A and B are shown apart, each in its own frame.
Chain A
């Protein structure tokens, strides 16, 4: 609102009108804080929706390099053929990246976009773990990805990512337990042991998401207060100048 909008029809100063009452001022601060919060949140979400596909494109290049450098060929005696890992890195990697890339261009800021980013990032973890031959170090990709996803300040995104990881483990436990646990007959609760560490990290990340959102709201409210108070002062000054002009005539 500009200072001139606060003038009456006859051009009379309005500094004493109810516009400047404490209640009204608080309402204006709240409305402005809400608008600022939404604007910044939307900006942050859109920015992350543009960053994650770049990360996935980087992972795609990395996966192809890993496949080409470490498992370029499969062998049957003395005959070689391009290894399955190379095809999987190229085509499955492209498929996993396709939807996040499209959503980042067509629906940035939409809630569904960040959930697809979360699921895709976990699919990338699974693919990289496979391509590296199940190296324990590659499993850290899951934990790093969860940390990146928490930048969205949306705990539901972490739940989506966790469900994808847990689903992979549960399916493996019941179909090929050796591939996860190294034993043929693991205890039924064994997947909980693995899930515990993901939940452990999630507990802190969810706390960080809630705190981050609260900080964002606090910052928006502080800025709104400064803006509204500055506007009020401006109006008061203007009203005073007009009153002095009237008195001088």
Chain B
């Protein structure tokens, strides 16, 4: 028993140090690994079901309604919208597999997005619209200018599921204000939107 007691502290020390280091590495990798980048068309697709108001920019957010990381994206969208002047037309497209029951996509992400003034939330059946706009990762934002040209493609969070300022949001604000930014892309952090059949 005494021998066992002598081993408890060294063993716990190893578990403590190892656990903290392994946990930090796991979370770090998870947080900082971006999803697949989007490949949106350079011009607003003419065949799109989404309406574009002539003379006004259009911003799309394509997201998975049940991706935990997307809550941060929607929260950042709410902050971003307040900073955009002139305000573009904004759509949030939430992915839903066709065979899943109606209302599956009506999660807290849907509710939070619906509460943002001036935002239209749509169900994106089987991710058709996401595919048309080249989105592969939940949280993908695209901004089309008033002339229908692509201005920005990327994410608006700085890490996976992490709130706070981000390079993507800053670039969108700069584009809206000055029609120019240091870059027109940013990394996207979120779950994959690519529909795979259940295994």
Residues of chain A having any CB pair with chain B under 8 Å: 70-80, 83-85, 88, 91-92, 94-96, 98-99, 101-103, 106-107, 116, 120, 123, 126-127, 130, 133-136, 176, 178-179, 181-184
Residues of B within 8 A of A84 (CB): 26-27, 30
Known pairs A75-B64, A76-B191, A136-B163; A92 contacts B12 (CB<8 A):
no
Residues of B within 8 A of A130 (CB): 27, 31
Q: Per a CB cutoff under 8 Å, which of B22, B163, B164 touches A92? A: B22
Q: What total of A-B pairs shows CB separation below 8 Å?
A: 132
Q: Per a CB cutoff under 8 Å, which of B26, B30, B66, B138 touches A80? A: B66
- State which of B44-52, B85-93, B154-162 sits at the interface with chain A: B154-162
Expressed in whole angstroms, the Cα–Cα distance for A173 and B32 within the complex equals 13
Determine if A92 and B23 form an interchain contact, defined as CB atoms under 8 angstroms apart.
Answer: yes
Q: Per a CB cutoff under 8 Å, which of A95, A135, A176 touches B16? A: A95
Known pairs A70-B68, A123-B20, A179-B32; A78 contacts B8 (CB<8 A):
no
Since A95-B22, A120-B16, A182-B166 are in contact, a sample of 20 more A-B pairs with Cβ atoms closer than 8 Å, ordered by chain A residue number, is: A70-B68, A75-B66, A75-B67, A78-B97, A80-B66, A91-B23, A92-B19, A96-B20, A98-B12, A103-B12, A106-B5, A106-B8, A130-B27, A133-B68, A133-B71, A134-B72, A134-B162, A179-B159, A182-B158, A182-B165
Residues of chain B having any CB pair with chain A under 8 Å: 5, 8-9, 12-13, 15-16, 18-20, 22-24, 26-28, 30-32, 64, 66-69, 71-72, 95, 97, 100, 127, 138, 158-159, 161-167, 170, 191-199
Expressed in whole angstroms, the Cα–Cα distance for A151 and B68 within the complex equals 37
Residues of B within 8 A of A95 (CB): 15-16, 18-20, 22-23
Determine if A74 and B167 form an interchain contact, defined as CB atoms under 8 angstroms apart.
Answer: no
Nearest CB in chain B to that of A126: its residue: B24
Expressed in whole angstroms, the Cα–Cα distance for A80 and B20 within the complex equals 27
Determine if B30 and A77 form an interchain contact, defined as CB atoms under 8 angstroms apart.
Answer: no
Expressed in whole angstroms, the Cα–Cα distance for A135 and B28 within the complex equals 17
Determine if B192 and A77 form an interchain contact, defined as CB atoms under 8 angstroms apart.
Answer: yes
The dominant DSSP class at the A interface is helix
Expressed in whole angstroms, the Cα–Cα distance for A126 and B30 within the complex equals 15
Expressed in whole angstroms, the Cα–Cα distance for A92 and B64 within the complex equals 28
Residues of B within 8 A of A71 (CB): 68, 161
Expressed in whole angstroms, the Cα–Cα distance for A203 and B25 within the complex equals 32
Expressed in whole angstroms, the Cα–Cα distance for A179 and B20 within the complex equals 19
Residues of A within 8 A of B64 (CB): 75
Residues of A within 8 A of B9 (CB): 99, 102-103, 106-107
**Closest Cβ of chain A: how far from B75's Cβ, in Å?**
8
Known pairs A78-B196, A107-B9, A133-B161; A83 contacts B20 (CB<8 A):
no
Of B12, B13, B66, B194, chain A has the most CB atoms within 10 Å of the CB of: B12
Expressed in whole angstroms, the Cα–Cα distance for A80 and B147 within the complex equals 39
Nearest CB in chain B to that of A176: its residue: B32
Expressed in whole angstroms, the Cα–Cα distance for A178 and B189 within the complex equals 13
**Closest Cβ of chain B: how far from A107's Cβ, in Å?**
7
**Closest Cβ of chain B: how far from A187's Cβ, in Å?**
14
Determine if B100 and A78 form an interchain contact, defined as CB atoms under 8 angstroms apart.
Answer: yes
Of A70, A74, A83, chain B has the most CB atoms within 10 Å of the CB of: A74
Determine if A135 and B163 form an interchain contact, defined as CB atoms under 8 angstroms apart.
Answer: yes
Residues of A within 8 A of B196 (CB): 76-79
Residues of B within 8 A of A136 (CB): 163-164
Q: Per a CB cutoff under 8 Å, which of A83, A94, A116 touches B19? A: A94
Determine if B194 and A77 form an interchain contact, defined as CB atoms under 8 angstroms apart.
Answer: yes
Determine if A184 and B167 form an interchain contact, defined as CB atoms under 8 angstroms apart.
Answer: yes
Nearest CB in chain A to that of B75: its residue: A133
Nearest CB in chain B to that of A177: its residue: B158
Determine if A76 and B159 form an interchain contact, defined as CB atoms under 8 angstroms apart.
Answer: no
Nearest CB in chain B to that of A99: its residue: B16
Residues of A within 8 A of B67 (CB): 74-75
